[in-house]
């Protein structure tokens, strides 16, 4: 599959690049995508939820009513889970939600997500550029030139670029990531995937190296 290389004005440069079919043209594996996205979301959970059990409730230990003669059930503590203000039975406790996922499954998921984006024609290839200073209006102008102003976009850079990152952080529908940290969730969450030329080479390099392992 060939794709045109665009400049920041949104015009074709006259050059075309062939996308690697082993990365952008495979048969997508939906289950691998599900597992990778599930792990990504699970890792973002803090897991700090905590409910007090009866032993952690602060309150009097006085027996609240006499044992017999009331015509109701016996009760000995205001900390009882069946009373208002009492402890919680089997409540949530702090824990980690993370789980292990094989590297090959994660690689397959990323390739599947990229293949979906390629089939949907949701990938734009942009020649490498840099900004002299962090200006949000520059990123807005680039999006307008690429005709993706109203779409959630993910810019994939070959390496860290402080000015591009600072220029985009105030925009809710724009995210920036370097190629080596690109995740399946980020690919699918964006409507338009804007790859810089250098990042395309980096993605192919990283995925091929991991395949070789």
Q: What is the largest CA-CA distance in the chain?
A: 94
Specify the domain boundaries for CATH 3.40.1370.10 within the chain.
Answer: 2-45+99-212
Position 212 scores a pLDDT of 45
Query: What pTM was computed for the model?
Result: 0.82
Q: Tens-digit pLDDT profile for the chain (213 aa)? A: 788 899 899 898 888 888 989 999 999 999 999 999 999 999 999 999 999 999 999 988 899 999 999 999 999 999 999 999 999 999 999 999 999 999 999 999 999 999 999 999 999 999 999 898 999 999 999 999 999 999 999 999 999 999 999 999 999 999 999 999 999 999 999 999 999 998 988 898 888 755 544
Contact at 8 Å (CB) between 180 and 137? no
CATH number of this structure's domain 2-45+99-212: 3.40.1370.10
Q: Enumerate residues 6+ apart whose C-beta is below 8 A from 136.
A: 167, 168, 170, 171
Say how many Å lie between the first and final Cα of the chain, rounded: 26
Pairing label, strands 174-178, 123-126: unpaired
The span from the CA of 186 to the CA of 122, in Å, is 13
Outline where 95-196 has alpha helix (H): 103-119, 136-145, 162-168, 184-189
- Helix, coil or strand: residue 150: coil
The span from the CA of 52 to the CA of 80, in Å, is 12
CA dihedral 19, 23, 29, 32 (to 10 degrees): -140
Position 29 scores a pLDDT of 96
């Amino acid at each position: 599959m060939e794709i045109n290389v665009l400049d920041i004005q949104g015009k074709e440069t006259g050059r075309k690049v062939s996308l690697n079919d082993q990365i952008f043209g495979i048969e997508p594996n939906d289950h691998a995508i599900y597992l990778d996205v599930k792990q990504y979301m699970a890792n973002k959970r803090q897991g700090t939820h905590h409910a007090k059990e009866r032993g952690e409730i602060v309150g009097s230990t006085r027996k609240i009513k006499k044992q017999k003669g009331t015509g109701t059930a016996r009760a000995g503590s205001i900390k009882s889970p069946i009373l208002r203000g009492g402890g919680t039975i089997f409540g949530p406790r702090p824990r980690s939600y993370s789980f292990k996922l094989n590297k090959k499954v994660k690689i397959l998921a990323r390739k599947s997500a990229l293949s979906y984006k390629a089939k949907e024609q949701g990938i734009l290839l942009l020649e490498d550029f840099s900004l002299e200073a962090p200006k949000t209006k520059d990123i807005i102008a680039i999006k307008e030139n690429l005709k993706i102003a109203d779409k959630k976009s993910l810019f994939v850079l070959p390496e860290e670029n402080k000015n591009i990152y600072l220029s985009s952080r105030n925009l809710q529908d724009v995210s920036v990531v370097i190629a080596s940290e690109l995740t399946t969730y980020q690919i699918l969450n964006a409507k338009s995937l804007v790859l810089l030329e250098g990042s395309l080479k980096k993605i192919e390099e990283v995925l091929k190296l991991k395949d070789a392992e």
